[in-house]
């Protein structure tokens, strides 16, 4: 039987304020996984807003043909910085932040396995982000271009060679990714060690919350994929400064080699980002359906399956490179196959909803949005896996729409869901429900106006990464609508930010378990005290709090 | 067999496809050559299958949300619903069925991959070498002795008398991608790598496209124009392009300006001292409809403005502003417009 620890006094709600200097010192020097998690999240939110503004500037430029809102150089910097920031300095840190905060709590541990490594990983990743943006002051780009990196987020060779990108902007890009990669590896190592070694008594691997399983697989992918990325960045530095010729086509190097290095990182990276989102969904959907997750073993198997298969699909980003028919056929097949375990997940969520009592609280609204949108993202993914179809769709706005359906429609929606779900745990106060509903519906409308319509210009021949387009191509009206949808999403995000701040001071007090949930983080106070649990919990099933609440009908009777 | 499936699976509403085909001169739903046609047919199969899955899953999701929503007024509102932990049979069914769909889809796809990429070159064909540059296209017809830029002319091909054009592509600098959606899917143009694409356009006319791989500052205005000519038009065009450059004595002063400035380091005008290869071949510049890789119409005013400051049309273009005085600008514009 799970042991509920005695509630500790809610600290944010009632504790006296510390002096500013003490508070700053406490956060700068902390090795507490919760504080580090929150710093990851806060830092990622700042970059999310910056990269969001970059996106809106691009949308203003593209709203009408032959626009002069920004110069081509600025536009090229915007899409480079938007992509790089969103992937490396918003997406990964926000997910690592939630992982850092939640994994020890959910497995009944007092902290991460290596608290100091944890702090180091955060600060080195944060340094990477600052380095990237320092390029606006310290770098310079292609001839005639400004200062920030402008080679695109996948920085294809040989555009990154010194003849095409003199100055230092490309170096800032390289170094910021290299440095933040060190942090990612450190955090991944920490998460793996924590999950494998720090579980509380009774928490066998087959009782691990699905969120922890997904973080385990994500962290494994980080090990495998950050390494080639780091290697490629070092090779690029060698090319640029020590006269190596890995990617220097003018000296016999290979542009295609860079693509392989980048995408063996880049595609699994999508799964690194989406698996934690799956983890959130696998926790939130059952609680608001009031049912246990359907097919836990299948969910775990599908996760591990996705992890392995995701390492075999990278060259579907290269169908137009001229790999030859056998290569294209192989990567078509591997990419189609990954839809099978992904489909299993969707069907299991569906089956979890089936027969439940669905409560449409704000976290659930975002989770359901995720479910609907992820289905479409998966289906357009199947279209793109058909390599001849990809010869038309690849590098067009169809692809941009597809991956934003994954990154925004699935991942950002689940991140919002996670905020509404775990904010009460983190702060002791609920996020405002009315504002949350406004946020959800506005963001949903903005999302669909933008990204549903964005598929069509791609079908009509509009390539990505162009700073302007011809008026006679039939793309203008669609692009205007896409831009308007972007503005709606921007407004919705501002409501969310306001809600975060407002509710921190004025929100309803949450108590330990506001959602009547079942995993261990809800057994301790909100926010949890240092070292989380006054007494190490013991569990006998996947849902220790369910057992506690239903002593006559505990899960342990049914789990195999 | 697969093609029968393809033909019978056109469930995807034809009206939507026709509508999209009519919206743009670069719509992928308006194919006009075999590679684009076979992609179009395959895409209809793919859209039908994914559309079917979409309807089923969305139908289930919406049903579940309505049927199983929490009803506060119901007598059982306070009770938890029955807990169901899973079912091996159900898991198997939604594993095996998707696998079968994947196999069908893969076989249909593999057929198109191999039929496009792995068929032998016919003896009767046109060969063109395509070289991507920042930010323009160089076209060389080695067997015909023609060199031109930015506007590709190829002959029409018919079922009774097929005459495909083979484009052998590489890049002089960064990565580019050759994409004319109505003729074929895109193929990347990569330095130190040779890619081959073929097209057999079935109707004459102008086909538009543009570079589809980010290649630098001015990627957006690296446009593609493919003129599909009748056999007679094409023969006449080749004959015209093979002639040496016009040497009109009335523009001799402009020619002198051209030859005494750095124009000749980058541009070629056959029969003159200009033999540069960094920029487009100008031997028959006046025969083209556009300049600056399709960015603007080929008019004397635009030529003059482009020479004065290429960045006015194409910021980031590698041609420097020539800093000629107004008199010389007029002369050299007159010379270039004489290069029929």
The CATH code of the domain that includes B132 is 2.60.40.420
* Residue B317 located in a structural domain: yes
Flag if A465 and B219 touch (Cβ within 8 Å): yes
Q: Are residues B139 and B171 in the same domain?
A: yes
Residue B295 sits in which domain range?
249-337
Nearest to B24 among A357, A392, A473 (CB): A473
Indicate the DSSP class of residue A470: -
* Residue B100 located in a structural domain: yes
Burial class (CB in 10 A: 0-12, 13-18, 19+), A271: buried
User: Distance from B117 to chain A by nearest Cα, in Å?
Assistant: 6
pLDDT tens for each residue of A511-524: 999 999 999 999 99
Q: Are residues B223 and B253 in the same domain?
A: no
* Residue B230 located in a structural domain: yes
For B26-52, what is the mean pLDDT? 94
All residues of chain B having their beta carbon less than 8 Å from the beta carbon of residue A328 are 113, 117
Q: Judge contact between B199 and B35, C-beta under 8 A.
A: yes
Q: Are residues B96 and B37 in the same domain?
A: yes
Taken in order of first residue, the domains within chain A and their CATH numbers are 11-557 (1.20.210.10)
Question: What is the per-residue pLDDT for B77?
Answer: 76
pLDDT tens for each residue of A98-126: 999 999 999 999 999 999 999 999 999 99
Flag if A358 and B65 touch (Cβ within 8 Å): yes
* Residue B78 located in a structural domain: no
Domain boundary among B176, B204, B238: B238
Q: Are residues B63 and B31 in the same domain?
A: yes
All residues of chain A having their beta carbon less than 8 Å from the beta carbon of residue B311 are 144
Q: Are residues B225 and B165 in the same domain?
A: yes
Q: Are residues B206 and B257 in the same domain?
A: no
Task: Dump strand ranges (E) for B72-150.
Answer: 126-133, 136-141, 146-149
* Residue B212 located in a structural domain: yes
* Residues facing residue B291 across a β-bridge: B296
Distance CA A393, CA A383 (A): 9
- Determine the Cα angle at B113 with ends B111 and B114, to 5°: 70
Flag if A474 and B25 touch (Cβ within 8 Å): yes
Q: Are residues B205 and B267 in the same domain?
A: no
Distance CA A352, CA B26 (A): 44
Question: What is the per-residue pLDDT for A137?
Answer: 81
Question: Mutating which of A356, A391, A465, A516 best tests the B interface, going by the most B Cβ atoms within 10 A?
Answer: A391
Question: Mutating which of B58, B133, B219 best tests the A interface, going by the most A Cβ atoms within 10 A?
Answer: B219
For A261-273, what is the mean pLDDT? 96
Flag if A255 and B192 touch (Cβ within 8 Å): yes
User: Distance from B285 to chain A by nearest Cα, in Å?
Assistant: 22
* Residue B276 located in a structural domain: yes
User: In chain B, whose CA is at the least distance from the CA of A381?
Assistant: B50
All residues of chain A having their beta carbon less than 8 Å from the beta carbon of residue B184 are 391
* Residue B167 located in a structural domain: yes
Return all residues near A186 (Cβ < 8 A) that are at least 6 apart: A117, A118, A120, A121, A124
pLDDT tens for each residue of A300-338: 999 999 999 999 999 999 999 999 999 999 999 999 999
Q: Judge contact between B335 and B255, C-beta under 8 A.
A: yes
Question: What is the per-residue pLDDT for B5?
Answer: 52
Q: Are residues B132 and B113 in the same domain?
A: no
Number of A to B CB contacts under 8 A, please give it: 289
User: In chain A, whose CA is at the least distance from the CA of B83?
Assistant: A291
Q: Are residues B33 and B104 in the same domain?
A: yes
CATH number at residue B94: 1.10.287
pLDDT tens for each residue of A452-484: 999 999 999 999 999 999 999 999 999 999 999
User: Distance from B253 to chain A by nearest Cα, in Å?
Assistant: 33
Split into its structural domains, chain B has a count of 3
Neighbours of A15 (CB within 10 A): 10
Q: Are residues B227 and B261 in the same domain?
A: no
Question: What is the per-residue pLDDT for A352?
Answer: 97
Q: Are residues B113 and B131 in the same domain?
A: no
Flag if B212 and A386 touch (Cβ within 8 Å): no
Q: Are residues B27 and B105 in the same domain?
A: yes
* Residues facing residue B137 across a β-bridge: B132
Flag if B316 and A463 touch (Cβ within 8 Å): no
* Residue B76 located in a structural domain: no
All residues of chain B having their beta carbon less than 8 Å from the beta carbon of residue A358 are 64-65, 68-70
Q: Which tokens belong to B233? A: 């038009």
All residues of chain B having their beta carbon less than 8 Å from the beta carbon of residue A340 are 95, 98-99, 102
- ipTM value for the complex: 0.94
């Amino acid at each position: 039987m799970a042991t509920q620890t005695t509630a500790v006094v809610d600290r944010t709600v009632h504790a006296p304020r510390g002096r500013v200097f003490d508070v700053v010192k406490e956060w700068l020097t902390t090795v507490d996984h919760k504080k580090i998690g929150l710093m990851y999240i806060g830092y990622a939110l700042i970059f999310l807003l910056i990269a969001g503004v970059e996106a809106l500037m691009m949308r203003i430029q593209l709203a009408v043909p032959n626009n002069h809102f920004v110069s081509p150089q600025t536009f090229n910097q915007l899409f480079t910085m938007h992509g790089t920031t969103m992937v490396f300095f918003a997406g990964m840190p926000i997910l690592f932040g939630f992982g850092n905060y939640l994994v020890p709590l959910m497995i009944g541990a007092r902290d991460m396995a290596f608290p100091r490594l944890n702090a180091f990983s955060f600060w080195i990743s944060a340094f990477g982000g600052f380095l990237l943006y320092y390029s606006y002051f310290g770098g310079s780009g292609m001839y005639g271009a400004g200062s920030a990196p402008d080679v695109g987020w996948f920085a294809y060779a040989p555009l990154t060679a010194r003849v095409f990108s003199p100055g230092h902007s490309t170096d800032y890009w390289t170094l910021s990714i290299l440095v933040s990669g060190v942090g990612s590896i450190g955090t991944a190592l920490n998460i793996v060690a924590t999950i494998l070694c720090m579980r509380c008594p009774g928490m066998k691997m087959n009782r691990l919350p699905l969120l922890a399983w997904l973080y385990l697989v994500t962290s494994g992918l980080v090990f495998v994929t950050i390494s080639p990325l780091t290697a490629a960045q070092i090779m690029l530095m060698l090319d640029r400064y020590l006269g190596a010729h890995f990617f220097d086509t003018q000296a016999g190097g290979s542009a295609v080699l860079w693509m392989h290095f980048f995408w063996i990182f880049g595609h699994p990276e999508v799964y690194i980002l989406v698996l934690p989102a799956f983890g959130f969904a696998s926790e939130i959907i059952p609680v608001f359906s009031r049912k246990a997750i359907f097919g836990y073993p299948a969910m775990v198997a599908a996760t591990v399956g996705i992890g392995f298969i995701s390492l075999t699909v990278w060259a579907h980003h290269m169908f137009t490179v001229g790999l030859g028919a056998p290569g294209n056929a192989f990567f078509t097949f591997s990419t189609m196959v990954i839809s099978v375990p992904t489909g299993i997940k969707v069907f299991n969520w569906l089956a979890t909803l089936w027969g439940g009592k669905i409560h449409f609280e704000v976290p659930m609204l975002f989770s359901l949005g995720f479910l609907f949108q992820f289905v479409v993202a998966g289906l357009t993914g199947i279209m793109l896996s058909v390599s001849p179809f990809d010869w038309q769709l690849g590098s067009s706005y169809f692809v941009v729409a597809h991956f934003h359906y994954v990154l925004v429609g699935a991942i950002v929606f689940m991140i919002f869901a996670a905020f509404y779900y775990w904010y009460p745990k983190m702060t002791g106060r609920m996020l405002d429900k009315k504002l949350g509903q406004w946020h959800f519906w506005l963001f949903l409308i903005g999302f669909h106006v933008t990204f549903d319509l964005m598929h069509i210009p791609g079908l009509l021949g509009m390539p990505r990464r162009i700073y302007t387009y011809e008026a006679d191509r039939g793309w203008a009206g669609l692009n205007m609508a896409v831009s308007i949808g972007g503005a709606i999403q921007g407004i919705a995000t501002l409501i969310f930010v306001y809600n975060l701040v407002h509710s921190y001071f004025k929100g309803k007090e949450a108590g330990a378990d506001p959602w009547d949930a079942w995993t261990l983080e809800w057994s301790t106070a909100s926010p949890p005290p240092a070292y989380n649990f006054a007494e190490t919990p013991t569990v006998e099933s996947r849902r220790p709090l369910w057992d506690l609440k239903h002593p006559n009908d505990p899960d342990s009777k049914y789990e195999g | 067999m697969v093609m029968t499936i393809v033909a019978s699976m056109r469930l995807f509403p034809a009206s939507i496809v026709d509508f999209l085909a009519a919206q743009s001169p670069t719509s992928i739903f308006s194919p006009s050559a075999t590679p684009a046609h076979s992609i179009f047919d395959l895409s209809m199969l793919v859209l039908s299958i994914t559309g079917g899955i979409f309807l089923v899953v969305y139908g289930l999701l919406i049903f579940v949300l309505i049927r199983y929503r929490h009803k506060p007024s119901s007598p059982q509102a306070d009770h938890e619903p029955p807990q169901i932990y899973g079912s091996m049979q159900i898991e198997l069914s939604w594993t095996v069925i998707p696998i079968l769909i994947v196999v069908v889809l893969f076989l249909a796809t593999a057929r198109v991959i191999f039929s496009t990429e792995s068929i032998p070159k016919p003896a009767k064909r046109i060969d063109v070498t395509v070289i991507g540059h920042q930010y323009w296209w160089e076209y060389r017809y080695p067997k015909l002795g023609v060199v031109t830029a930015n506007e590709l002319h190829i002959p029409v091909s018919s079922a009774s008398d097929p005459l495909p054009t083979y484009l052998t592509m590489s890049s002089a600098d960064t990565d580019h991608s050759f994409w004319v959606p109505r003729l074929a899917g895109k193929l990347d143009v990569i330095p130190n790598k040779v890619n081959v694409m073929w097209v057999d356009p079935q109707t004459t006319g102008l086909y538009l496209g543009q570079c589809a791989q980010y290649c630098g500052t001015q990627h957006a205005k690296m446009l593609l124009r493919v003129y599909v000519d009748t056999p007679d038009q094409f023969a006449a065009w080749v004959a015209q392009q093979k002639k040496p450059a016009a040497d009109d004595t009335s523009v001799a002063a402009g020619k002198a300006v051209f030859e005494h400035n750095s124009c000749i380091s980058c541009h070629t005008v056959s029969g003159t001292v200009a033999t540069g290869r960094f920029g487009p071949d100008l031997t028959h510049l006046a025969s083209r409809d556009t300049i600056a890789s399709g960015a603007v119409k080929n008019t004397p005013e635009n030529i003059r403005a482009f020479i004065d400051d290429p960045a006015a049309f194409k910021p980031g273009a590698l041609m420097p502003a020539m800093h000629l005085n107004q008199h010389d600008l007029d002369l050299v514009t007159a010379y270039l417009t004489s290069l029929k």
